[in-house]
Structure 1
Amino acid sequence: MLSLFFIFIGLVVAGCSTGEESSSQATNEEGEEETISFIHWRGEDKEEFDEIIRRFEEENPNIKVNMSSFPSDQYEATLQTKLKDGNSGDVFAMFPGVQFETITSAGLAHELSGEEFVSRFIPDYITVGQHEDKQYGLPLQLVFNIPIYNKTLFDKFGVEPPADWEGFLELNETLKENGIERPIIFPAADNGPGQFMNPMMMNNEPDEDIWEKVQSGERKVTEEWWVKTLSQIKELNDKGYFGEDSLGINQSSSGTLFAQENGAILAMGSYMMAQIIEQNPNIELGLLAPITVSEDETVWEGIHTTTFMLAVNEQSEHKEEAKKFIEFLTRPENASLYANGTGQMVTLEDVTYESEVLKAQEPWTEKKTRFQPRYTISNGQVQDAVLASIEAVLSGTEPADAAEQAQKIIDQAL
């Protein structure tokens, strides 16, 4: 009897889990229920995903969804490991660029080309999820990677988004003269350089294939276009438009500073608008892109990214259930719920935008925007070298020297 008691206790303990992820394999007593794992990095979207999962499980009572989210830097570093054994991430999200190339090259993403729900996406927005002409990822989010500005403060000081570089410098000087100590909140401690480089370089080098050419050795970052970009970032820093502590500001604190109106421009992107409004409902927001050339030289008006690429783990034993979940998530009514609840525009047809945050972004769908250049860098060492050159000029290095050091690293990587 005592031995049976210990066996019973052992089974109870084995059935409990304290880990942050649940296994993707589970059945009920009849062996009919399947549990799939959904992993991503957007913890702030939990409420909306929870509601969609509730609806999905109601429609599919034999499929349960365990969702786990992770900080974006941790997710980038560990996703490949999480996917390899097939027990995690039956459905997962990918970043475009280096992470997408890494995951698809490792054979960890299941091909989705022939699935019916692929046709729900706007065709121009999903090419980033293709590898060798096959669809492996379906980007759910449409993001504008250009700074957010406080329209209320702009109106107060009688300024508008400028059309050229001289106008952008004058705008920042006006803001500073009116007591805004940090005209541009620039989170250089983590994601700022990787975001701000995109609009800063888009017209200095309009070629959309520039980073592919850099990685092939055809072009170099010691050329005028990148040295100019670094010089302009340094100029903004030297004039005090980033404030005195940009290297100590991270993405999270930058959103709070901006919501508290401690700056007039946030050098991030539209994905932060919803959380800013949540912290300060009285703030009116807009989007602007710094134009680094004269008005007549301008080719691009802004930057867009299609990201949060939905994918199915090739190692999963629950591919059909995983695809059912993506099909459900991408129905117009559920995609609309997600978009309006999170303040994130999506890449799907027939979605209705109702929130003020999304209405502020909608005009940018009609502008001439370029896909985020940083995400066209597929070599992680090249990307690190490029971002390091921005950090170097913020620390006082001359732009030409920072570019030369970056090119040495790139040459070694290639």
Structure 2
Amino acid sequence: MNRTHKLNLLIAAVLLVTLLFTIYSRRDAPNVSQSPPAAPSVSSAPVKITFWNVETNDLRQALLNQSIQAFNQTHKAVQIVPYFYEVETYKAKLKLSMISGKMPDLFYYWTGESFKYMVDSQIIADLTEKMQERPAFMKQFYPEALQYATYYDRLYGLPHTTSHVVFWYNKRIFAQYGIMPPQTWDELMSTAQQLLNNGIPPFTVSGKERWPLLNWFAYLSNRMGGSTPFQHAIKKTGDFTDPAFLEGAQLFRGLITAKMFVPGFLGLDGPKAEDILLKGEAAMYLQGDWVAEKMLSNPDIGYFRFPTVHGKGDPQVYYGGYSSGWAISANSNRDAAFEVLSSMLGMEERKKVVEASGLLSTAKDMPLDRNIMNPLVYDFVTFIEKDPVDFFGYYDQEIDPHRSQLLLNAVVTMASAPTMSQEEIEDLLKQIR
């Protein structure tokens, strides 16, 4: 055998050994991909939606917190971060947020000029397409409720409740003096004088918060002149020297000079004013039905409409309406914020609110379970959802913020001045410009 042949056999043997070693090595080794190792998977953090609301410190806030907690437990990709603020603090904070451009994702609003300003400034997200994509959800709302947040044929907010300002009264006191709920202003004043003569303050009111005093001025001026004078005031085609406002102011001043309100009413906050009625230390309280659950938890409390005034006005026209709701800011994660909004305004969530609080929802055809409701709350809901024929909006929200403050201050002045002439009242109202 020559040297070349021996060399070839040696090379072949080496290659065979190498091949066998490779085969057995791969068979025993783990199956490892030749591509670079993948990075460990990391679950994405949930989208956090800041949700600003007005602080109520009552059942409304408790129910909303329950809904938020339930949402956070069942939605891992989106989490709600709630904040609650006292009303005046909230208004100031929202204004600063508008100026800075750092708006919350989802927030409480009142309809009116301030809301329209946010729409015009493109601060608020347009919800039109979102709602059109959810026709069943959209159909659950009363169409007129959605109109309150519609500008330029586009929808910018969703109202969550329908409110009504009514008289709450102590039935035990009325029965003691043989008094029936009054249906006219003259009957109301006669009732008030009878109570006053017997040492019982006729009315309690939270003067410290200002706007509860405005409830009186708004109702009186609306009863005297209807909604047209105020609509002119909103558009600045008229002002607060219209005869309806002057007459309303004079009637309001009459309550002050006759000492119809509880002593110290200008320093009372809402809870204290309410407790005075509940304790029987005053006979009547003009306030919205957001206090319905608190009032009607006491069997001594009833309710009646604001009456006609000197034969004018319709007692079935209520101060209130679809005046508040929730909106999404333009710079938010709109998909996540709308997921929260649609959940908070879902039929089941709003049903819980109505059944517990008596505060009507903006959802139509809502089936209520009478068996789990306070019977007095159920009776109130049954009455108030059918009685109104129309609404007029809150004066301090419908006009621009500057005039709103002037109007609130004017009402406080009328409530606190020892004496005030007709000319002084007119001069005061002239300044609301």
Superposition TM-score tier, normalisation by shorter sequence? 0.7 to 0.9
Shift of 1:107: 1.7
1:143 equivalenced with 2:156 (yes/no): no
1:119-130 superposed matches below 5 A: 119-130=139-150
Change (3 A) 1:376 1:210: farther
State which of 81, 104, 116 in structure 2 corresponds to 1:89.
Answer: 104
Q: May I ask how many residue pairs the two structures share in their alignment? A: 376
Is the contact made by 2:53 and 2:107 (CA closer than 8 Å) also made in structure 1?
A: yes
Correspondence for 1:35 among 48, 54, 68: 48
Aligned partners of 1:347, 1:152: CA distance in 2, in Å?
A: 33
Aligned equivalents of 2:335 and 2:98: distance in 1? 17
Instruction: Verify the 8 A CA contact 1:234 1:393 in the aligned structure 2.
Output: yes
Q: Deviations over 1:42-89 (max 9, x none)?
A: 443332123222332343222111111100111112213336667652
Larger radius of gyration: 2
Structure 2: how far apart are the matches of 1:399 and 1:246?
Answer: 24
Once the two structures are TM-superposed, the CA of residue 358 in structure 1 deviates from its matched residue by: 4.9
SS at match of 1:31: coil
Q: Distance in 1 between matches of 2:337 and 2:191?
A: 49
Asked if 1:315 is matched to 2:331, the reply is yes
Give the Å deviation of 1:136. Answer: 0.9
Partner of 2:3: none
Amino acid of the residue matched to residue 36 of structure 1?
A: I
Q: 2:428 aligns to what?
A: 405
Q: Does the CA contact (< 8 Å) of 2:360 and 2:385 recur in 1?
A: no
Q: Secondary structure at the match of 1:202?
A: helix
What is the CA deviation profile of residues 187-234 of structure 1, one whole-angstrom value per residue up to 9, with x for unaligned ones? Answer: 22222222222222221111x242231244433322321111011111
SS at match of 1:267: strand
For the Cα contact (< 8 Å) 2:161–2:324, is it kept in 1? yes
- Indicate the SS of the match to 1:126: helix
After superposition, the C-alpha distances for 1:152-181 in whole angstroms (9 at most, x for unaligned) are: 32233222222222111111112223331x
Root-mean-square deviation (CA, aligned residues, Å) is: 2.5
Q: Could you say if the C-alpha distance between residues 273 and 139 of structure 1 is closer, same or farther in structure 2, counting changes exceeding 3 Å?
A: same
Q: 1:352 to 1:155 in 2, by over 3 A?
A: farther
- The whole-number CA distance in structure 1 between the counterparts of 2:423 and 2:287 is 25
Alpha-carbon deviation of 1:38? 1.1
Give the corresponding residue for 1:332.
347
TM-score between both structures, scaled by the size of structure 2: 0.79
Deviations 1:321-380 (CA, angstroms, capped at 9, x unpaired) = 111111112221111112223332111123244343353143133233422251563222
1:86-125 equivalences in 2 (<5 Å):
89-114=104-129, 115=131, 116=134, 117-125=137-145
Name whichever of 357-366 and 73-82 sits farther off.
Answer: 357-366
Q: Determine if the alignment matches structure 1 residue 384 to structure 2 residue 405.
A: yes
1:388 partner amino acid: N
Q: Is there any run of 5+ residues in structure 2 with no aligned partner, and where?
A: 1-40
Instruction: Show the 5 A alignment for 1:131-210.
Output: 131-180=151-200, 182-190=201-209, 191-206=211-226, 208-210=227-229
CA distance in 2, matches of 1:386, 1:203: 18
The answer on 1:370 being equivalent to 2:422 is no
1:293: which partner in 2?
310
What is the distance in 1 between the residues matched to 2:185 and 2:324? 32
- State how far apart, in whole Å, the 1-side matches of 2:379 and 2:123 are: 37
Q: Distance between the aligned counterparts of 2:255 and 2:397, measured in 1?
A: 26
Distance in 2, matches of 1:143 and 1:388, equals 24
- Note the residue ranges of structure 1 that are not aligned, 5 or more in a row: 1-27
Residue 51, structure 1, aligned to residue 66, structure 2: yes
Q: Is the 8 A contact 1:98 1:375 kept in 2?
A: no
Contact 1:125 1:347 in 2 (8 A): yes
Q: State, as a whole percentage, how many aligned pairs show the same letter.
A: 14
- Does 223-232 or 238-247 show the bigger shift? 238-247
Q: Which residue of 2 aligns with 1:235?
A: 254
Residues 199, 303 of structure 1: 8 Å contact kept: yes
What amino acid sits opposite 2:221 in the alignment? M
